[in-house]
Chains A and B, each alone.
Chain A
Amino acid sequence: AQSVSQHNHHVILSEAASLELGCNYSYGGTVNLFWYVQYPGQHLQLLLKYFSGDPLVKGIKGFEAEFIKSKFSFNLRKPSVQWSDTAEYFCAVYGGSQGNLIFGKGTKLSVKP
C-alpha cells in the first residue's frame, strides 16, 4: 500500500529562518504530489502540486517543493518564514487506481515572532 512519511512532527523556527519540511512517499509509479496547509481554525488549502514537468514547483506564499524521483521525496521549502506561516502542513500523494489522496501525518510549524 502507498504511504507518505513526514519526518518532522513539530518544527519551531524564528521569523526569517529558512524552512525545509521532509516528505517521502512509497509508491513507485507515476505520482501526483501535493502539499496542503491548515492554518489554525481553517480548512485545508492547497499550497502546491506536482503532476509532471519541472520538478521544482512554485506554490503560493513563497513556498516551493522539489520532486526527486530517485529519492521518492517531495520536500517543501521556503527561504524566509513569517509568523503567519504558523500552521500544520500535510504532504499527500495521489496515484495508482485510487482516486483518493494518501496523506502524511502532518508537520506542525510554529514561527516565533
Chain B
Amino acid sequence: GAGVSQSPSNKVTEKGKDVELRCDPISGHTALYWYRQSLGQGLEFLIYFQGNSAPDKSGLPSDRFSAERTGGSVSTLTIQRTQQEDSAVYLCASSSPDSNQPQHFGDGTRLSIL
C-alpha cells in the first residue's frame, strides 16, 4: 500500500507480558517516528529514527521501552513487562528526506493491558 502500515491493529495482553508493535513506513521515507496517544492526552513523542543515524530516544518513558529499525525500513517497538499505564494507541509516522515534508501517520496499534 501507499501509506504507513502498522500491525497489529489491536493488541490485548496481560500485565507483565512483553509486546512487539510493528511499523512499515512509506517506501523511500528515511525518517520514522513512534508516538503514543493516551486517553485524554495528546500525542507523546517516543523515538525518532533518521537514516543510519543513532535514534533519538529522548521520549521513551522508561527502560521497558525500546525500538529498532532494521535495514532502514521496518521498525519494531517493544514494551517489556507491560503495565496498565502502557495502554494507549501507538502511532508510527514517516517522512521523506526533504526537510520540508510533513509526517504521514499509520492507523496505529491500540494496546490494552489487562
Q: Which residues of A contact B (CB under 8 A)?
A: 4, 6, 32, 34, 36, 42-46, 49, 51, 90, 92, 98-106
Contact = CB atoms under 8 A, between A and B. Distances in A.
B18 interface: no
Contacts, number: 59
B100 interface: yes
Given A46-B103, A106-B43, 9 more contacts: A6-B42, A43-B3, A43-B4, A99-B56, A100-B35, A100-B48, A101-B103, A103-B43, A105-B40
Given A43-B108, A101-B33, A90 B42 contact: yes
Contact of A100 (B40, B41, B59): B59
Interface residues of B, number: 26
A49 B102 contact: yes
B106 to A, nearest CB: 6
Given A104-B42, A105-B41, A32 B33 contact: no
B100 A101 contact: no
B45 A102 contact: yes
Nearest to B49: A99
Contacts of B105: 36, 43-45
A15 B43 CA distance: 28
A100 B45 contact: yes
Q: Which of B59, B105, B107 has the most CB of A within 10 A?
A: B105
Contacts of A102: 45
A41 to B, nearest CB: 9
B103 A103 contact: no
A12 B41 CA distance: 20
Nearest to B50: A99
Contacts of B4: 43
B91 interface: yes
B47 to A, nearest CB: 8
A49 B50 CA distance: 21
B31 interface: yes
